[in-house]
Structure 1
Amino acid sequence: MTPEHDPNPDPSSHRSGSVAVVGRPNVGKSTLVNALVGAKVSIVSSRPQTTRHRLLGIATVDGGQILLVDTPGLHREQGKFKASAMSRVMNRAARSAVDDVDAALLVVEAGRWDEEDSHAYRVLHDAGIPVLLVVNKVDRIKDKSTLLPFLAQVCDGREFAAVHPLSALKRKGLEALVADILARLPHAPPAYEEDEITDRSQRFLAGELVREQLMRQLGDELPYAATVEIERFAVDSTQKQGPLLRIGAVIWVEREGQKPIVIGKGGARLRDIGSKARQQMERLFGCKVFLETWVRVREGWSDDESALKAFGYE
């Protein structure tokens, strides 16, 4: 996917810097970050606004290190998002991502450009940083002859440092993007060790993996009404087969009537959510995981900024 990296980079030729990954909801920003990093650091689902936090993905490649700032989908505060404290928090996280970065990737969906994309472009253009246009999901375009006219339309009257049609899901077109990003980063030593993939803790990632299963299984029923808090995260070193992570996760919903939706008949849905999240954790953390989950209610948490802060939303 990306070139092999040199474990002993020459500081005079090595490049390192931060790149904001910005775009409207559901264009594949997190999938792109995961593909570039080479590991799952951002959760993904088919639901818009799956990403709620700003997160750093660390891509160490030949000749450089790219610090990818994954962001929530940038949207105008209107319609169904207008009165939501969650929406305001996510927009602030997305907007603040362009502060002190060396470049930005504007991620759009191949064949689609709307006012939300224009809004994201204006935010990046006003920041005065190089903007690389990433046209994602080209694998979904059956008639490839429509792609060039679409690119011409998008670029008309807009300034992009480079344009990269690609498929993050299929990992196609990433090498050229990596080379173009590196060319725009300053000469600097790596900011992180080569085996580091994110600045977030395992505790945070565990909560996100549980929430990913919530979004995937209950996105139609509870798209924005649930969040996850990790109450317990401990390493048990007494096991003969190796370290065991003991994790306790609380799924918070906004109303009593939402609890049985999460729990499911006889607890089946909650068990399935926990089982799939645990499997993802074991892949990511490289050890066995014992996961317990509970469902609790906090009325109106998603529109309460103090509750959002308590749950770790920036």
Structure 2
Amino acid sequence: MIHKSGFVNIIGFPNVGKSTLMNALIGKKISIITNKPQTTRHRILGIVNKPNFQIIFSDTPGIIHPIYPMQRIMMQYVKKSLYDGDIILLTTEIGKLENFYMIDYIKKNKNVPIIILINKIDKIGIEYRENILYKTIDYWHKLFPNSEILPISALKKMNQDLLMNKIYELLSEHPPYYPKISLSNKSEYFFVNEIIREKIFFFYKKEIPYSVEIDTEFLKKEKTFIEIFSSIYVERDSQKGILIGKKGKTLKKLKFFSVKSIESCLKKKIKLKLHVKILKKWRYDYKKLKNFGY
């Protein structure tokens, strides 16, 4: 039996549904999802294993013009993904006719096939969809005349099977890169951090989610439960107060919903302790960023 394997890197703008797409293709929630831009900070691998293939998908941060060190590192993840994969899924959305500065980087790499995915086609009413979709396809065809364009809905899984078939056709024969039971390259610590950060995006507004980093310092597996101690780092005293809330009520709410999601992910009872700490300007300090795994 022929076995194919390869790396498929998902890139694109913030909030076009890259993480939703990867989770749909994997069939399991690997990347956190919110309605706010720049939710994804790291490059996350999600692996699909079948008897005759292994596809390693890579979710990347949304393409932005970086301002501070953390954003510069995020964009380095994206740039690297342009050259170390077998296929690029350049993801945009219906009606989005917007150029971005990395297009030249993408065009320079002529050895990697690119599939343009026009996501969120379910968001446009049927009476308007055809006209808007035609304009979107025409726009991206002019930018990438040799690339295949596929309208999809990651949320509704529209054309997902067609996309998987196209990816399989483009892959080369190769043994699996990872053990066939692998779902991701990230540890349980990482997923705990991401789940807590996702809840912060849901429960807090303005600058709070962007000023927060999570560090799970302790994860001990007992017979009937997992004990976890995680620190939430913010940049200012005022942010700490907002996170904790009056009489600790907001932090308790964050803890409750984090525990529910972590239990769903790790399939075990969770005892979680959260501690809010101040680490000034951590997003601007390369040494601190390195300690956080960037």
Post-superposition Cα deviations, 1:89-112, rounded to whole Å, max 9, x if no partner, equal: 111111112232111000101111
Instruction: Find the counterpart in structure 2 of residue 169 from structure 1.
Output: 155
| Structure 2 Cα separation of the partners of residues 136 and 188 of structure 1 | 30
| Structure 1 Cα separation of the partners of residues 51 and 107 of structure 2 | 29
Secondary structure, counterpart of 2:177 in structure 1? coil
| Structure 1 Cα separation of the partners of residues 155 and 256 of structure 2 | 24
Larger displacement relative to structure 2 (265-274 or 102-111): 265-274
Instruction: Find the counterpart in structure 2 of residue 28 from structure 1.
Output: 17
State the aligned residue count.
290
- Give the letter aligned to residue 253 of structure 2: D
Instruction: Find the counterpart in structure 1 of residue 236 from structure 2.
Output: 255
Within-5 A mapping of 1:299-314: 299-313=280-294
Instruction: Find the counterpart in structure 2 of residue 113 from structure 1.
Output: 97
User: What RMSD in Å do the two structures reach over aligned CA positions?
Assistant: 1.5
- Give the letter aligned to residue 64 of structure 1: F
Larger displacement relative to structure 2 (86-95 or 153-162): 153-162
The alpha-carbon deviation at position 160 of structure 1 amounts to 4.5
Post-superposition Cα deviations, 1:196-236, rounded to whole Å, max 9, x if no partner, equal: 21010111111111011111222424141111000111101
Instruction: Find the counterpart in structure 1 of residue 104 from structure 2.
Output: 122
Q: Which residue, 91, 97, 115 being the options, matches 2:75?
A: 91
Instruction: Find the counterpart in structure 1 of residue 8 from structure 2.
Output: 19
Post-superposition Cα deviations, 1:111-159, rounded to whole Å, max 9, x if no partner, equal: 112133xx34332222221110011111111221221222112212423
Secondary structure, counterpart of 1:276 in structure 2? helix
- Give the letter aligned to residue 277 of structure 1: S
* 2:42 is the counterpart of 1:60: no
- Give the letter aligned to residue 76 of structure 1: H
Instruction: Find the counterpart in structure 1 of residue 35 from structure 2.
Output: 46
The alpha-carbon deviation at position 275 of structure 1 amounts to 1.6
- Give the letter aligned to residue 17 of structure 1: G
| Structure 1 Cα separation of the partners of residues 27 and 104 of structure 2 | 30
**1:278–1:159 CA distance, 2 compared to 1 (3 A):** farther
The alpha-carbon deviation at position 298 of structure 1 amounts to 0.5
Secondary structure, counterpart of 2:219 in structure 1? strand
Within-5 A mapping of 1:1-314: 10=1, 13-61=2-50, 63-77=52-66, 82=67, 84-116=68-100, 119-128=101-110, 129-142=112-125, 143-145=128-130, 146-237=132-223, 239=224, 244-313=225-294
- Asked if 2 retains the 8 angstrom alpha-carbon contact of 1:125 and 1:131, the reply is no
- Give the letter aligned to residue 18 of structure 1: F
The alpha-carbon deviation at position 27 of structure 1 amounts to 1.1
| Structure 2 Cα separation of the partners of residues 194 and 254 of structure 1 | 41
Give identity over the alignment, percent.
33
Instruction: Find the counterpart in structure 2 of residue 7 from structure 1.
Output: none
- Asked if 1 retains the 8 angstrom alpha-carbon contact of 2:47 and 2:183, the reply is yes
| Structure 2 Cα separation of the partners of residues 120 and 159 of structure 1 | 17
| Structure 1 Cα separation of the partners of residues 230 and 215 of structure 2 | 6
- Asked if 2 retains the 8 angstrom alpha-carbon contact of 1:137 and 1:168, the reply is yes
| Structure 1 Cα separation of the partners of residues 284 and 136 of structure 2 | 38
Post-superposition Cα deviations, 1:217-260, rounded to whole Å, max 9, x if no partner, equal: 224241411110001111012x3xxxx11111111000011011
The alpha-carbon deviation at position 163 of structure 1 amounts to 1.3
| Structure 2 Cα separation of the partners of residues 269 and 219 of structure 1 | 13
User: What TM-score comes out, normalization by structure 2 length?
Assistant: 0.94
- Asked if 2 retains the 8 angstrom alpha-carbon contact of 1:111 and 1:141, the reply is no
Secondary structure, counterpart of 1:190 in structure 2? coil
| Structure 1 Cα separation of the partners of residues 48 and 147 of structure 2 | 21
The alpha-carbon deviation at position 39 of structure 1 amounts to 0.5
- Asked if 2 retains the 8 angstrom alpha-carbon contact of 1:133 and 1:160, the reply is no
Unaligned runs of 5+ in 1: 1-9
| Structure 1 Cα separation of the partners of residues 135 and 83 of structure 2 | 33
- Give the letter aligned to residue 129 of structure 2: K
**1:159–1:120 CA distance, 2 compared to 1 (3 A):** farther
- Asked if 2 retains the 8 angstrom alpha-carbon contact of 1:254 and 1:297, the reply is yes
Secondary structure, counterpart of 1:224 in structure 2? helix
Unaligned runs of 5+ in 2: none
Secondary structure, counterpart of 1:115 in structure 2? coil
